[in-house]
Amino acid sequence: MSAPNSVMSREDVRPTSVATIEMRGVTVGALRDSKVIVAENVNWRVEAGEFWVVAGLHGSGKSDLLMLAAGVMAPAAGSYDFQGEGMPIFSEDRLAHRLKLGFVFDGGCLFNQLTVAENIALPLRYHRNLPEARAESHVATLIELMELAPYARTLPSALGRNWQRRAALARALILKPEVLLLDSPLSGLDQREQNWWFGFLDQLSRGHAYYEGRPVTLVVATANLRSWRGQARQFALLDDRRFTVLGDWSAVEQSKAPLVRELLVESVTNV
């Protein structure tokens, strides 16, 4: 009788932990028209505490992929689990699980009829039913972290793009989500402001004092790849409806994918 083969193939090795985000054979439709497919056969596993960047051209479907990851819409095909539970979750009894995901929209998407402080407080008022007085201390903490004190009573339309983005980040963090999805957070920002974001996101990924030292899982969508060198630790590419996990930065630099080379060159000229 032959001895059992002690060498296992890669296909035989299965992760034993529950992933934070796990997509299997997922097809992503566009949010505005679900019949339009922006990505097919997405297989993606994000572990707790990881820091990912998903790169692609404008209009490639990065925002739609993040919206699906946030549980805003369902996959057109395949399955998506968030911390072991099937998504999307719309039932009220599972609201607490869904709110472990935070989202920073491209451009911020603040409500212009509300002040900066009111925008930041909105998730507490809506999801936790906190009265204004009880929400104030939570809001004040984030206003200080984002350096927004001079603009707390200002309407978003009167602010520059950099302060609007910081206010949107504060609103996403007010419920202390375990996972933060950010759609093109650096678009249109100067280098000084980009550096502020890099520093703050790095603190979140390693364990910010606001989270009592607990790391936040981060996923960023961008068309500006090179800017994230030394920031994110895992990279993926969305190109022509195909989602490809690249790996760490050394894998990005070694990639032969034409779009990766294009984004690296284009990023240099845009920074």
Exposed/middle/buried for residue 191 (C-beta within 10 Å: 0-12, 13-18, 19+): exposed
6 domain residue, yes or no: no
CATH code of residue 250: 3.40.50.300
The DSSP symbol for 45 reads E
In this structure, the answer to whether residues 217 and 95 fall within a common structural domain is yes
In this structure, the answer to whether residues 260 and 190 fall within a common structural domain is yes
In this structure, the answer to whether residues 42 and 150 fall within a common structural domain is no
Residues in the chain: 271
Count of structural domains within the chain:
2
What's the pLDDT score for residue 140? 96
In this structure, the answer to whether residues 115 and 94 fall within a common structural domain is no
3 domain residue, yes or no: no
125 domain residue, yes or no: yes
In this structure, the answer to whether residues 135 and 182 fall within a common structural domain is no
105 domain residue, yes or no: no
What are the pLDDT digits (tens) for 95-137? 889 899 999 999 889 999 999 999 999 999 877 777 777 878 8
Q: What is the mean pLDDT of residues 149-163?
A: 96
In this structure, the answer to whether residues 183 and 93 fall within a common structural domain is yes
4 domain residue, yes or no: no
24: β partners: 79
What's the pLDDT score for residue 95? 84
The DSSP symbol for 102 reads E
Answer whether residue 8 shows pLDDT above 70.
no
Answer whether residue 164 shows pLDDT above 90.
yes
12 domain residue, yes or no: no
In this structure, the answer to whether residues 63 and 23 fall within a common structural domain is yes
Phi, psi of 125 (to 5 degrees): -70, -40
- Residue 251: both structure tokens together: 């894998």
Answer whether residue 34 shows pLDDT above 90.
no
Q: How many CA atoms are closer than 13 Å to the CA of 217, on its beta-carbon side?
A: 19
In this structure, the answer to whether residues 183 and 238 fall within a common structural domain is yes
In this structure, the answer to whether residues 209 and 266 fall within a common structural domain is yes
Of 119, 150, 168, which marks where a domain is finished?
Answer: 168
Q: What is the mean pLDDT of residues 173-177?
A: 97
What are the pLDDT digits (tens) for 237-266? 999 999 999 999 999 999 999 999 898 875
State the CB neighbour count (10 A cutoff) for residue 205. Answer: 19
Answer whether residue 60 shows pLDDT above 50.
yes
10 domain residue, yes or no: no
What's the pLDDT score for residue 244? 97
Of 168, 188, 214, which marks where a domain is finished?
Answer: 168
Percent of the chain past pLDDT 90, that is, above it, reads 79
Phi, psi of 64 (to 5 degrees): -65, -40
Enclosing domain of residue 263: 17-100+177-270
- Rounded to the nearest integer, the mean pLDDT of the chain is 90
